[in-house]
Amino acid sequence: MELYGQDLNQWYQQTSQMTSKTALTSDSMSDQNLESSREDYSSWSRERLISRLTQLEQLQESSSRNTSKNLNPKTNLRRENFSSRAFDPTKYSTRLVAFKLAYLGKRYNGFEFHANCYTPLPTIEEELWKAFWKAKLIFPSNGQAVGDWEGCEYSKCGRTDRGVSAFGQVIGLRVRSNRPLGRKRVHLNEDLNKIRQSDDRENEEENSPEDQSQNNLSPKFNNDLPILNAVQSGVGRPKPQVEKIESQIERRESDIKDDSNFDPIADEIPYAAILNRLLPPDIRILAWCPDPPPNFSARFSCRERQYRYFFTQPCFLPIPNSIDPNHSTSSIKKCGFLDIDAMKTAAKLYEGQHDFRNLCKVDASKQLENFVRRINYANIEEVSDSIPSLKFLNAPEFQSSDCAKDSGYPKVYSFTLHGSAFLWHQVRHMVAILFLVGQGLEKPSIVTELLDISQNPGRPMYQMAAETPLVLWDCLFKHEGDIERNEMLQWIYVGDTPGTADTKYGVPAGGLMDNLWQNWRERKIDEILAASLLGLVAGQGQSAKNLEARSNGKGKSQKVFDGRNSPLLQGTYTPVMMKPVMDAVDVINHRYALRKGFESVTDMKKQSLGELNNPRRDHIIKSDFPE
């Protein structure tokens, strides 16, 4: 027993040295116990020694936790304070704003975001929503999915497809503002928050965990916007006191404090600068409109959408005359070169009001019956550009006799199109027909034939043009009946506000123009290198006019240009009007109704299970199927 007590005494002395400092500051031990800790433990009983050791081990474990927790008390305090400061949207006013933006669509799966639908690439709307949310310009409720704009009065002008770009897309939504709230409004919001917090505590006590996860909103997202209906969650009608407060919160700007010192433009949040820092480099906010007209909708208020489809001349690499099996001395355009004059003639036939069902893709789920759209302007226009490295294309060996005197190839052109609204894939179908006309495979009169639905109720199965060269160039908002077609939105472009020039050009760097320059230069260098290599190889070896073909037979396959980087090989070309024809629109709609379990389209209309197209004049203006 004596030897056992000596061993315990030695172990205790070692442990006491490690814990003595902490023991001095601990409330669990009195001063008397500390003094008694210096006793001779050899005389203690075994039970008493074990009890003492257990006490010391617990004290050592407790002191270790306290020491690690207080290693950096300032850091912990800062983190706790930061996490407890939730963003309170009720302290801010909001305003309805229109934004004009641009994006390069090659990396995106189109503009529109579809919830619960996987896409291989992100969408423009998805990136916009994330940027507005990170900037605390919108206040989604807890549980609101990414891309859900509910509560923001959100509207969009065009819905571009995958790969399509836009330089003048417009959206409208209600965002946070610097404009001060009136005192009455602040008090109402505070009272509303108190009632909500009380309701949340009641729900936590009454509801099951499953119900709480679905119905309760986190405090930082309890209020979507100061101007929205107060209760967005829970079940049943709001309490009477909530209804009374909500009735005093108007959905107008008149409840905002009339502060003559507040400038609605200069003193406002720098929306464009903030969003451009958060958005990807190929999506940029160009301008914002501080005061859209009442009941503004980016979709329904738009009076004209403008598209441009870019292509090169020649559209693909021509073969030298000496080895071209299809070359002749006639004035027929050489393979690869487009007949621009014929394309202009065909483009003008699009102008006016026509039924474009044979120049679009029919979506049976929409049950459309009206395909009449108005085209205000259609033409082929040359775009200023020059690539000196490809000057070999100006040599006679690469041209036919009718264009030998021309120079400056390759050239860039665009099919420019203005209209009030467009059907699904309408622009890409229209430009595909123009390419066939330009290659001499179809006559300009093919446009008239396709627009005549009495003779051709079904669309021939021809290939539409590629998506990448297409750009939604601009969206115009004009007053109804304005002959001069003046823009009714007052756009504030980046850098227009006094003292914000650095947001446009960057001082020393980081402005909008600086970002766009970097984007352009990266692609320009790629273009220069590719063009230089092409020109270098063209000049190596024998001259093009001295080359000899391995056979004199005609080409086995027709090259057809559709806007892509290389032409399609289609064997012997089949004219459009001789291709297989799709079913008429009413047949497509009827088949869709049967597949959905209805007896007919009429039966589906009666049950109101499909969004139907009504052939009204305002629908022609407000179509929701832009390219």
Catalytic one among 7, 148, 161, 482? 161
Please give the Cα distance from 511 to 469 (Å, whole number). Answer: 27
Tokens for 447, please give them: 């446009």
Half-sphere exposure of 273 (CA within 13 A, CB side): 17
Beta-strand relationship, 352-355 and 372-383:
antiparallel
Going by C-alpha positions, the residue among 506, 524, 507 that lies closest to residue 515 is: 506
The candidate with the shortest Cα–Cα distance to 547, out of 326, 319, 354, 349, is: 319
- Residue 473: phi, psi to the nearest 5? -75, -40
Contacts of 178 (CB under 8 A, 6+ apart): 262, 267, 268, 269
The Cα–Cα gap between 367 and 593 comes to: 9
Using CA atoms, how far apart are residues 185 and 472, in angstroms rounded to an integer? 41
CB of 375 within 8 A of CB of 350?
yes
Picking from 256, 230, 201, the residue whose alpha carbon sits closest to that of residue 141 is: 230
CB 397 within 8 A of CB 545: yes
Q: What residues pair up with 97 in beta bridges, in sequence order?
A: 173
- 199 in catalytic set: no
Integer CA distances (angstroms), 63 to 17, 26, 147, in order: 13, 8, 49
The answer to whether the CB of 274 falls within 8 A of the CB of 474 is no
Mapping DSSP to helix (H, G, I), strand (E, B) and coil, where does residue 311 land? strand
Alpha carbon separation from 301 to 125, 148, 372 (Å, rounded): 20, 22, 19
What span, in angstroms and rounded, lies between the C-alpha atoms of 230 and 246?
Answer: 6
The amino acid at residue 483 is: I
Q: Which of 254, 260, 185 is nearest to 225 (CA)?
A: 185
- Helical (H) or strand (E) element with 93: strand 93-103
CA distance 338 to 559: 12
How does 398-419 read in b/e, with b if 16+ C-beta sit within 10 Å? Answer: bbbeebeeeeebbbebbbbbbb
Residue 483: CA atoms inside 13 Å, Cβ hemisphere, count? 0
Q: Which 3 state secondary structure label does DSSP give 418?
A: strand
Classify residue 67 by burial, with Cβ atoms within 10 Å: 0-12, 13-18, 19+: exposed
Contact in structure between 475 and 592 (CB atoms under 8 Å): no
The catalytic residue positions are 161
